[in-house]
Chain A
Amino acid sequence: MPFEITSQPISVVAAPDSHTGAVVTFDGIVRDLNDGLPVQALEYEAFEPLAVAEGERILTEARGKFGLVDVTCVHRVGRLAIGDVAVRVIAFGVHRREAFEACEYVIDEVKARVPIWKKEHYASGDSGWINAQKPIDEAPDPRFEAEYYARQMRLPQVGEAGQQKLRESRILVVGAGGLGSPALLYLAAAGVGTIGIADDDSVDLSNLHRQILYAAQDFGKPKASLAAARLQALNPSVRYVTHQERVSSSNSDRLLEEYDLVLDGSDNFQTKFLLNAACVRAGKPLIAASIYQFEGQLLTVLPEGEGGCLSCLWPETPAADCVGSCADVGVLGAVPGVLGAMQAVEALKMLLELPVPSSSALLTVDLMTGSMHRLRRTRNPLCPVCGSGEAISEGLEIEAKGWSDLTWFRVVDIRELHETPEITGVERMPLSEFDPFGVVGRTVLVCASGRRSLTLARQLRADGFADVFSLVGGVRDNAFLRTPP
């Protein structure tokens, strides 16, 4: 029956999620005529690693170009008979138009680019190999690039060499929202060679006032692929990879593998702290930012950097409801615009191997008052992520090379009041009148040589004060104590 009306359920090709509103399937079938010659059978052969890699690339392009929910393709190899399905493309879109267009795009590109050859066995007994492959990985047109990047290459800090560094770099942007939008636009325009976009969300109308990658018509479509399409139009010489998934403890290490640098544009503590830990584990730099109404915070975490990591500041991941989200407290769209652009600047400086002062500070920006603070961070040796965690608490004695090693301790001088030299800025609690209940927080005790402080620390530990330490060598061996902190 050519056209039917039915009250029975119509079986569907499995849709990947509830956003899918249209599924378009294309089947390429072995037919009995080619260029007027009768064909009896077909044989397909593929150079598989290359074919799969190129095929994946085409699917990624299609997801980006058409803002698809998903698209898949399967191609047969071996000997096929007339009527067999040789290739199948299935495009899942929010709406039908992009699904139709994507389906056509994928099959055209697969036929043109994927290294699969077909050998037709003609009824006449002849056979022939056919492959209409285009060269893969066309080199970028040097004239296009020279003109495109002319203004930034004029900077002495960039130049030809810097542009080449950017071209060879791979950055993962997590969250293509208020921060990710401007960051992605500037990174793509600057010519960072590979840009990964991780976001599992779809565009909501309430996103548009700050998430400037998207248009009103994008409502309901997946952000990662829309972002890739928008950026592809902005700078086609960059390779875009979409990761339509939420960063979790089970996928974070895998996601980071292909990248040199991570930019955190996420909007929740769980993702932020998870990414921080994953970057520390992988030894990859992280540029994180967050906003609150008219304010923003930005910090960079470098492997082995003196500033430590996000968990050095907040060792425990803050509860989701401890401060408000954009949805709860409101945000002016241009505020994440400023912070996202600042993240892009920090990322580009890092890739260009320029100094990145945000790696040893937390930058706070208040766009209401127009003020910016640069608050110096130091690594917390007890940090559960980049430090030794609880391990140090077991030791009774600590060694210090300078005041910075004591940043996370309250320093208490237990020498008697007549003992000199005085340690500037340090509290005195002489041993002869020592009150254990004055010991609050993580404390390091200092005496002349480290002997009395060790005895006292041991005694206090026995009394249940877990966070008390003794400074090895006391005032005698730690010359830095004679200079103010």
Chain B
Amino acid sequence: MKIHVTYFAVLREQRGLSEEVLDTLCKTPEALYEHLRGVHNFSLDRKWVKVAVNDEFAPMDGILFAGDRVVFIPPVAGG
């Protein structure tokens, strides 16, 4: 299924782009994150990453559906 993924902060930096459409078999945001982490060497542990699905914060172990817009957000502290 096709999932639209947006990255923020250090994830965007490590991925090298802000957004992309992925064709994936991952059923949950968590599985998708772990997959992407392996592929792109994300430094951030899964526990610091929040996910929003279709503009709403969602649990990492919720279910993904085709066409979902997934946003991975790490906390940021700069001021």
Interface residues of chain A, those whose CB is within 8 Å of chain B, are: 175, 177-180, 265-269, 272, 289-293, 295-297, 313-314, 316, 318-320, 322-326, 329, 331, 336, 362, 364, 366, 368-369, 371, 373-378, 407-410, 425-427, 440-442
- List the B side residues contacting A366 at CB < 8 Å: 8, 18
B23 at the interface (CB under 8 A from A): no
B4 interface residue per 8 A CB criterion = no
Q: Please indicate the chain A residues that have their CB under 8 angstroms from the CB of B45 in the complex.
A: 322
Contacts of A323 in B (CB 8 A): 9-10, 44, 48, 74-77
Question: By CB atoms of chain A within 10 A, which of B55, B71, B76 has the most?
Answer: B76
> Tally of A-B residue pairs with Cβ under 8 A?
128
Instruction: Known A323-B9, A425-B65; judge A267-B78 contact (CB<8 A).
Output: yes
A210 to B44, CA, bound (A): 27
| Max count, chain A CB within 10 A of own CB: residue among B12, B56, B57, B71 | B57
In the complex, what distance in Å separates the CA atom of A267 from the CA atom of B77?
5
CA distance A442 to B30 in the complex (A): 13
Q: Is the CB of A322 within 8 A of B76?
A: no
Interface core residue of B30, B58, B65 (most chain A CB under 10 Å): B58
Q: Is the CB of A376 within 8 A of B56?
A: yes
B 1-45 binary contact with A (CB < 8 Å = 1; else 0): 000001011101100001000000000001000000000000011
Q: Are A290 and B78 in contact, CB atoms less than 8 angstroms apart?
A: yes
Q: B20 → chain A, closest Cβ, in Å?
A: 13
Tell me whether B59 and A407 are in contact (CB under 8 A).
yes
Q: Which residues of A contact B63 (CB under 8 A)?
A: 410, 425-427
Interface string of B51-68 (1 = CB under 8 A from A): 010011111111101000
Which residue in A180, A297, A316, A369 is a CB contact (below 8 Å) of B76?
A297
Q: Which residue of chain B has its CB nearest to the CB of A317?
A: B75
How many angstroms from the CA of A320 to the CA of B77 in the assembled complex?
9
A329 to chain B, nearest CB (A): 8
Q: In whole angstroms, what is the CA distance A180 to B58 when docked? A: 31
Sample 19 A-B pairs with CB under 8 A, ordered by A number.
A177-B79, A180-B79, A295-B76, A297-B73, A316-B47, A322-B74, A322-B75, A323-B74, A323-B76, A323-B77, A364-B71, A368-B18, A373-B52, A375-B52, A375-B57, A376-B52, A376-B57, A407-B59, A441-B60
Report yes or no: A292 in contact with B76, Cβ–Cβ below 8 A.
Answer: yes
Chain B residues, CB < 8 A from A289 = 79
Q: A178-B79, A293-B13 are in contact. List 5 more A-B contacts (CB 8 A).
A: A269-B77, A318-B75, A323-B10, A324-B78, A375-B71
- Considering the chains assembled together, what is the distance between the CA atoms of A267 and B79 in angstroms? 4
Q: A313-B50, A322-B48, A427-B63 are in contact. Are A290 and B77 (CB under 8 A)?
A: yes
